[in-house]
Amino acid sequence: MKISRRKAFALLGTLLLLVVFFKWRAVVKLFFSPPEKTKAKAAEPANPFMEEGKALVAVVRGKNVDAMVREAVSLIGGLEKIGIKGKSVLVKPNVVSAAPHPVTTNPQVVRAVVKLLYEEGAGNVYVGDMSAMLALPTRKNMERNGIKQAAEEAGAEVIFFEDHGWVNVELPKGRYIKRVSVTEWLYKVDRIINLPVIKTHRSASYSICLKNFVGATHIKQRPYLIDPTHWEELIAEMNLAWHPHLNIIDGTKTLIENGPWEGPAADTGLVIATGDRVAGDVTGLGIIRQFGRWAMVTEKDVWEQKQVKRAVELGLGVGKGAVKVVEKKI
């Protein structure tokens, strides 16, 4: 049977549409999932990890990831400072794609954090994130980079934000964004642990604590879709919508150039713990600067980074001179 050219093109077009739809069905579904009604901004918990008016930051170097995580948290006062016992906890790693660490958080660090939470009496522990638009679905990525297996082996329930609901949060202090849609999981748990990795970023200069929150925002509100000329400031303002109780930063390996998707990495062998996102970011930025490979970080003071400056203006963290770093090698 002969098929006319017009029918052949129509058939080809239909096949292409089907391929695109099934390949990007997670993205399509997200774009048609309206957020729930607006909620008030989550209350910001006071940072209990302070000493003499300064934010404590523990930097632990070593090879045993379990011991490093445990020691870093202990050096700033321990999990008892945030009342973990009996509480539900969301652990938010960086799962931008299926790539291994340091593009994404080290599964060993994820496992160590979940284990420590349960040992300290946490109730239910969840590990969740949503990958970048072009890398969805998150489930596939977590399976490929080992985070899902590591989390489940330690007893956590793994969740993929795109499979759940979204809520709107008003941002009265925002200059570049006045409302952000975030995963409902920020409102379903008692405590939140931020678990970023240290890496460079071609659009945002770097990605550590503040940038890790973007994975909890609706896909329609990624910075490149809102205002690509103010990536860094948008990241800081979006952080008004959530307030992690603790930041445990994976520095077992550090992406020192061309991030966030790929690039040369260094075996830095460290874990950082702090209750302050800004303090965590400036400490991680100091690690990247040591290698002198990424001009967007090395050519300016860490406190002059736009993410950091805007976050300090918004009261999301301490300012210059208010960080106390405690280092230990184990």
Task: Please tell me the distance from the alpha carbon of residue 199 to that of residue 96, in angstroms, as a whole number.
Answer: 12
Torsion of CA 243, 247, 251, 252, to 10 degrees: -120
Residue 224 has a pLDDT of 86
First to last CA, the chain: 75
| Residue 215 DSSP one-character state | G
Burial 121-155 (b: 16+ CB within 10 A, else e): ebebbbbbbbbbbebbbbbbbbeebbbbebbeebe
Is residue 160 within 8 A of residue 93, CB to CB? The reply is no
Residue 45 has a pLDDT of 74
Residue 25 has a pLDDT of 66
Instruction: Tell me which H or E stretch contains 91.
Output: strand 89-93
Residue 18 has a pLDDT of 41
Q: What is the pTM of this model?
A: 0.91
| Residue 156 DSSP one-character state | P
For the chain, 330 residues long, the average pLDDT of each consecutive 10-residue run is 53 46 61 67 81 97 98 98 98 98 98 98 98 94 98 98 94 94 95 98 97 95 90 97 97 96 97 98 98 97 98 97 98
Strand order in the sheet with 166-170: 36-39, 166-170, 179-183
Is residue 10 within 8 A of residue 16, CB to CB? The reply is no
Task: Please tell me the distance from the alpha carbon of residue 28 to that of residue 5, in angstroms, as a whole number.
Answer: 30
Task: Please tell me the distance from the alpha carbon of residue 255 to that of residue 104, in angstroms, as a whole number.
Answer: 10
